[in-house]
Chain A
Amino acid sequence: DSGVTQTPKHLITATGQRVTLRCSPRSGDLSVYWYQQSLDQGLQFLIQYYNGEERAKGNILERFSAQQFPDLHSELNLSSLELGDSALYFCASSVGGIYSNTEAFFGQGTRLTVV
């Protein structure tokens, strides 16, 4: 158990809908990262937050947004869902920002299926 909690574990929704994925980082970790993993693309970095502030953005679509709350949990919002958004979404946390060279701990992921 990495200490990073993601909910829900599985989510099935229809195209055009909106969903929210939740991540609770390890106690004491200030950074939260979101990744999308599909079969042929590996781990795609989406976005990083550090202590409530957005720090880095990767290949995140405009239909996707995220935030980190004062209690450090984070939510990833996916809207106007398309079939191609079906993937495993991972959250990871670390003590410092990515430049601090601390390891990231991954949650078990949320499997999103868009039908």
Chain B
Amino acid sequence: QQPVQSPQAVILREGEDAVINCSSSKALYSVHWYRQKHGEAPVFLMILLKGGEQKGHEKISASFNEKKQQSSLYLTASQLSYSGTYFCGTVSKGAGSYQLTFGKGTKLSVIP
């Protein structure tokens, strides 16, 4: 089942902060965050693991609440280059195997 992302879209001015949320109805093994710019392939940002370990981007932080099956991506002091669609991908076990399922994305636009 697809995780739910909110908001669907957000517009920021340079320097402002944003939070993107991702929630799932399934028990999660990990959460992945990717950013996709228009016409390009998704690019890895971060992986959040159960137990609090994080692997990823230096300037972007995220949290993972295992009990609530929720994750949030924090974008601080936004830059024009942050514009794009952010996807969360949740890893959960289904039908005997793990699956990585993405949400529908959050479109972030940073304006001068």
Q: Interface residues, chain A, CB within 8 Å of chain B?
A: 2, 33, 35, 41-45, 48, 55-58, 90, 92, 97-99, 101, 103-109
Contact = CB atoms under 8 A, between A and B. Distances in A.
B49 A90 contact: no
Contact of A103 (B44, B95, B104): B44
A90 B99 CA distance: 16
Interface in B60-112: 87, 89, 91, 95, 97-105
A108 B41 CA distance: 5
B98 A97 contact: yes
| Size band of the interface chain B makes with A | 20 to 34
7 contacts: A35-B102, A42-B103, A56-B97, A99-B29, A99-B98, A105-B44, A106-B41
B106 to A, nearest CB: 10
B47 interface: yes
B98 A42 contact: no
A55 B47 contact: no
Interface in B14-36: 29-30, 32, 34
B42 A90 contact: yes
A56 B99 contact: yes
B29 A58 contact: no
Contacts of A103: 32, 44, 47, 55-56
A105 B32 CA distance: 12
A45 B100 contact: yes
A99 B104 contact: no
A104 B44 contact: yes
A56 B47 contact: no
